[in-house]
Structure formats: C-alpha cells, structure tokens
Chains A and B, each alone.
Chain A
Amino acid sequence: MKKILALIAAAVMMLTAAGCSGETADTADVKSEGVMTYAEYAAAELETPVVVETYVQAKQGWWDNKATFYTQDKEGGYYLYNMPCTEEEYSKLTPGTKIKVSGYKTAWSDEVEIIDSTFEIMEGNYIAEAMDATALLGTDELVNHQNKFVSFKGLTVEASTDATGNEAAYLYGWDGSGEAGTDSDLYFNASINGNTYTFVIEYYLCNETTAAYQAVQGLNIGDTIDLEGFLFWYNGAQPHVTSVIVK
C-alpha cells in the first residue's frame, strides 16, 4: 500500500511540475509561423479566416461541447465565442493557458469575436495585468482595447432605473426583470467626470457565488468603486466586470 501511495505522490509531483513549466510573463510573445500578430488580427477584414496565439484569461460555462473564452496576448484581447471543446478540454483551459486558435473573425453588435474556431493547447502561460482604462472611458480610443482585461478606478455608483421607474444601485437583468436566485446578470451604472457608463456582471462569467456578484448586490448609490473586467462591447462599451472593490 505504501508503494502505491508513493507512486501516486510522485505522479502528482510530476504533473504539478509540468503545470508550472509554462512560459513566464516576461518571455517575449513570439508568434509561431503562420500565426497573426495582434496588429494583423486587428487589421483583418470581418468574415475572413484568422489564426492567433493567445492566452485564456477567463471563461464562461461549458455547454454542449462549446464554451466562450476571454483571451489575451501581450498586445490585445480576443473573444472566442462558442469555441468547440470537450468538457475535459474545457477543464484544461485554465487562466494563463496558451492556445493556438483558428477560426473566422466576425462582429456581433460591434463585439469583434472569433467564431467557428478550433484550438490546440500550446506550451506557455500568461496572465494579463489589468490595463487602467479609466481615462479612456467615453473616448474613441477605448474601442481599440476591446476585449482586453482592464480596470476603471474611482467611479461613483449612480442610480439605475428599472422598467417601472424604480431606482436602485443595480438591477437584476437590464430592466430589473430578473431576481435573486436566478441566472440574472447584474446591471449597474457608474460615473466619472460627469459621464455615466453601464457595467455588467455576466452571470455565466461570475455567478452568485463569486465575490464580484456579491459585491454588486451590496452596492449603494454614491459608493466609490474600482472595477476590473473584460472590455466587452454591445452596441458600445459594456464591460463584463470580474472584480468590484468598494472604497
């Protein structure tokens, strides 16, 4: 029995070591042959094939052999919508994992994404630091950072108004039609420099068990907050928030 335990322990150590052997954040982001740089990807026409190497930053729930991933290389963000993967593959696609993705570049309500894609896991690991995009809110420059992991600092929570005219610090669903205990996204408004913007806690990215969801449920109008999240687009910027810190 002791021999078996020793073998298992050794195997676990080997697996752990393998998991840590990826590329560090300091390593240059050199693309493989035939792979686009972010600049080439950004310049590619919609509805054309693209091949990128990128790193998983976060993911939405796996369903029917597909899942959606927020990914980023050291230059920019890539939103992989409904990428086919098995549940086993999904479990391996943890934050930092490097993948090579082949698919088609498209846009849906101005959100640029890669669809109909295939992927392979590569050697390498990278977790992006949040880029402070506070100063870019409301500017034309913001869209150039679409899908990146960003932060917004020193915002003030503003009232959100539901469909029946009631005001609250946040809404379950865009019009307040959702409820606690359901799969409702959380919508809230926050302002800086006199302009108000809408932010979303996307349920399938951060559900009610996460600190971000719970933090929004505790917001009050007038709170000062720092946010982190992915710069998602839906007819304009609509960041998918992953962290909320009340100051």
Chain B
Amino acid sequence: MSFTKKFSALLLSAAVSVPLFLTGCHGSRGLDPFVIPEEFDTSRNYEITFWAKNDTNKNQTDIYHQAIEDFQTLYPNITVNLRLYTDYSRIYNDVITNISTNTTPNVCITYPDHIATYRTGTNVVVPLDELFVDPEYGLGGSEVRFDAPTVDEIIPQFLSECAFDDAHYALPFMRSTEACYVNKTYVEALGFTLPDVLTWDFVWEVAEAATEKNADGTFKVNGQNVMLPFIYKSTDNMMIQMLRQMGADYSTDAGDILIFNDTTEEILYTVAEHTATGAFTTFKISSYPANFLNAGQCIFAVDSTAGATWMGTDAPLSDISEENLVRFETAVRMIPQADPDDPAMISQGPSVCLFNKGDPQEVLASWLFTQYLLSNDVQIAYSGTEGYVPVTSKAQESAEYQDYLSRGGEDNDHYYSVKLDAAKLLLEHTDDTFVTPVFNGSASLRNAAGQLIENVTKSVRRSETVDDAYMEKLYADIISLYRLDGGSSTASVGKAELGPLPATSVALLAALGGTWVLILAYVGREFLKKRKK
C-alpha cells in the first residue's frame, strides 16, 4: 500500500465519469459479430494481449506470469502479452481510449459496470453464451487442451453477475465480499461478548464505548492518543448494503434512481451521530482501516475479504512499522447486519471479458486463454493470494482447495488464519450475496451512494450542522454532481457522463468544420465562375 492507493481510489471514482467517446473510427459501423470458427487454426501463430489488475501483491503478479507460461506450453502458437495495472480505473480508461482506435486488448480484467459502458460500441465485447457451450472449444470442450470447468461448474450467482441484456459478456475470475475485521481483545476488554453475527446496533454500541477517555486525554481501551473505533473502507458498499438490509430502494434494473429516500436519510443521520462522537470514520478521511486496526487504534475495520492479508497483528502484509504493531486477537465476521437471521452482503471481485477482433481465429485464441484462467491451477493459486474464493465448484470442491481451507493458522503466510476465515465467510454465505443492477450510469450512482456518507462525515468533523435543510442541500448537490436527475438514468446519466468535449475533440471538430467551410467556399467559387462564364 501507499499514498498511491488513495490516488487510485479517487481515480476509480473519477473514471466512471470520464467523458466517453466510443464512436471513433470504427464506431459508427462497428466490427462484425464474432462467429466461432469451425476449427482453431493451429498452423498460425497468435499474439494476444491480456490486461490484468493486481492488488499491489507480488504473488498475484507471479501467478499471472505462471499461468501465461503454462498456457503457452499447452498452446505454443499463442503468445500472451501481459499488461499489469494496479487499479481498475486505469484499465477502464485505457479500454475506452483504445476502443476508438480498435486497439483494445484481447482479454481484460474488468467490472460488470465497466462492461456496460464498453458495450455502447458496436460488437466491441464478445457475447460468450455460444462459446460457453461449443462442443469443441467451449467450456470443457473436447478440443480444449486442459481440464477446464463446464458452464455448470461456474458458481451460478457469480456467473449471473456477468449477464446483462440476456447474454453473458464476461466470466467471473475471482470473488470476494466485505468482512468486518474485529479486535476481539478490545471488544471483550470493554465488557462485551462478540456475537457470531454482528448487528449495526452492537457495533455502534461498542464503538461508542471505545470513545471513552482517561483524564489525560488518552483512550481508556488502548491507552493511546488515537482510537477510531469503526472505520469503513468502501462507503459506497456501506450505503448499498445498509439499504439492502433495511429493505430500502436503490435503483431499478432499468436504471431508475431511487436512492434519495427516507431510509437513506435515516442512515446518514446515524452516520452523523456516530461521527460526532468520534466513533466512526472512513478510509477516505482517515486512511487504511488495516493500519489503525493493527496499531490497536480501531476495533471494527470493514474492508474487502480480498484485503485480509493486511488485517491483524500477524498479517503477512503491513504498512506500519513493527514498533507500532499491537498484539490482539483478530476475529472475522460478516459485515454488520440489520437482521441477523437474514444477512445480506455484496458480491464483488474481478471478472474477465473478451474483446472482439476482425480475425475470429484470434478471438478464439483469446477465448482459450480466458478459459484457462478458470482452470483449477489458476483459480486455486490466485484465490490463495488473498481472501478471494474460486469461482468454480470444480476448484472449490477439489481436494487441493479443501486441503488449503483446512490448514488455516498453520503459518502466517499462505495459511494465514484471517485470510482463510475471510474466504470461508464468503463460501458459507454465497447465497446471501447480492449485486446492484448494471446499467449505463450505474457506476455514477454507486459513487453517489458513497459520497453521501463521505460528505456527512466530513461535515460533522467540520462542525457543520446536519439537519433537514442540510440533507435537502446534500441530495441536491449529489444529484447535480453525479447527474442523477431525470427519469430513466439510462438516458439521463448516460448523457451526463458524456461531459464536456476534451480539447483534442474540440480541435478535431474545429478542423473538420474548417475543412467543410473551405470545401463549400471552393464549390461556391467554382459555381460563381461558371455562372459568370
């Protein structure tokens, strides 16, 4: 981690509102739809590009390289060029740029929200349904040179997240959810018993208790000058999950924006109340939850299960110096719930999509590599780098993966107990996960959801009054900032995301306009000349 991650987080939020120009050179006509070749031509050599994202985790980088090497051994006529990114927003931005010049990668790690935008180009992203079931080259097909999963062996919930408009445009690659990493030692020191399922009420109560200070200004629970009892990493997830748990609206599948409702306001008042006492803060305002948790300065740290290797005294990855580490027992729980009997949590994680090309053979080569990413070798290795879970039952149920799960705590590296507990949490609660609807503009709505919490938190810290008038203005500001006004967001948000023309586009349009003026002037002059004759 570093400051760069903060920048990346902002890039991510910014990227969704980047001006979109998908109607470049080929955009108006588009590529022809991809048709599966009858046979993969192995007499030719193919060079494909794979844009991937790693969580600034060298083990993940190494696994990508190993996967490519192993795949190239199986298919010596296919060369895979890896381009690594450290954040999704850079991939998204580069894909957008390259769509207009028809230089997209062949295979790309991505989010479904982003694919919704890529698809506004014609036949840019390959629909995968026919490929899934092709007898020769489909998932687990007869001509595939490795042990690939069948479509039925992909976890249905995860696969369904990659479907829009009745077709699949991606495959899930890894899945995670959010977890609450708890300093159990401090919870018990404050006189509470940590339940198996956290409720919001419990978390707020303990967090408030942790704000109590000694006469010298230090906090009673840790004896330090700093205690941020409850830190939430992704406040968009926080708002989305709270709304879901409370049965409140967020958006429709068609893209109607429903977030500005009374339940949202209720949540924001709760956030304000606990920010005012110092019980709550966010990553964007304070920093990484793991840094505070591991320094004994936080009790409830909500972050991705894919961040588990940073959590806890014995975490294999750490951003704070050894002398600042505090020993405590780390417990992994579901995120706080409104109803413990009906838990709900977000499903998230990278998916992989395939870009169309003029040469169907090249696309088929790319598809084979994409499929390889779902093989057990890659799935089990990559999921072990963090608290990810494999996306196939074939991998999840394999003896190798089951052995891995059974060895939690054997060391503080590959078998780090917190990481394994985080992965198990998702495995046990896959049926309790959900995703939000994907539409052109859904990424803006997601950002808006988080910004509501960030703004309220900042305002309280700045001693501003948070009341009904504040809420009214906040809603208006967020609607304006994220262009969420209008009926169908598919239209309104999509239009809004276009934003102002970039300087290069203005220059291009000006040049085109100037050219037309000159052409018309020339034609006019010739016409006048002829008339004079």
Contacts and interface: CB of A to CB of B under 8 A. Distances in A.
A182 B56 CA distance: 12
B227 to A, nearest CB: 16
B57 A163 contact: yes
A170 interface: no
A111 B1 CA distance: 15
B11 interface: yes
A236 interface: yes
Contacts of B286: 108
B287 interface: yes
A177 B58 CA distance: 4
Interface in A215-235: 232, 234-235
Given A174-B1, A175-B56, A238-B3, A184 B503 contact: no
A13 B86 CA distance: 45
B59 interface: yes
Interface in B243-297: 285-288, 291
Contacts of B18: 64
Contacts of A29: none
Given A164-B62, A177-B56, A235 B11 contact: no
Interface in A122-175: 162-164, 173-175
A48 interface: yes
Interface residues of B, number: 40
B85 interface: yes
B503 A177 contact: no
Contacts of A203: 4
A184 to B, nearest CB: 7
Contact of A236 (B1, B287, B321): B321
Contacts of A164: 58-59, 62
Given A176-B58, A177-B60, A234 B3 contact: yes
Nearest to A240: B3
B413 to A, nearest CB: 10
A232 B61 CA distance: 28
Task: Name the residue in A162, A177, A182 with the highest tally of chain B Cβ atoms < 10 Å from its Cβ.
Answer: A177
Interface in B1-59: 1-4, 6-7, 10-11, 14-15, 17-18, 54, 56-59
B280 to A, nearest CB: 15
Output the residue of B84, B320, B321 with the most chain A CB within 10 A. Answer: B84
Contacts of A108: 6, 285-287
Nearest to B6: A108
Contacts of B62: 164
A146 to B, nearest CB: 13
Given A63-B14, A64-B14, A108-B286, A185 B60 contact: no
A179 B83 CA distance: 9
B58 A162 contact: yes
A194 interface: no
Interface in A187-241: 200, 202-204, 232, 234-236, 238
Interface of B: 1-4, 6-7, 10-11, 14-15, 17-18, 54, 56-62, 83-86, 90, 285-288, 291, 317, 319-321, 458, 461-463, 502-503
8 contacts: A47-B462, A48-B462, A66-B10, A108-B6, A108-B285, A177-B54, A202-B4, A234-B2
Shortest beta-carbon contacts, A-B, top 6: A64-B14, A163-B58, A177-B58, A109-B287, A47-B461, A177-B61
Given A66-B10, A173-B56, A183-B85, 9 more contacts: A64-B18, A87-B503, A88-B503, A164-B62, A176-B58, A178-B56, A181-B83, A182-B83, A235-B287
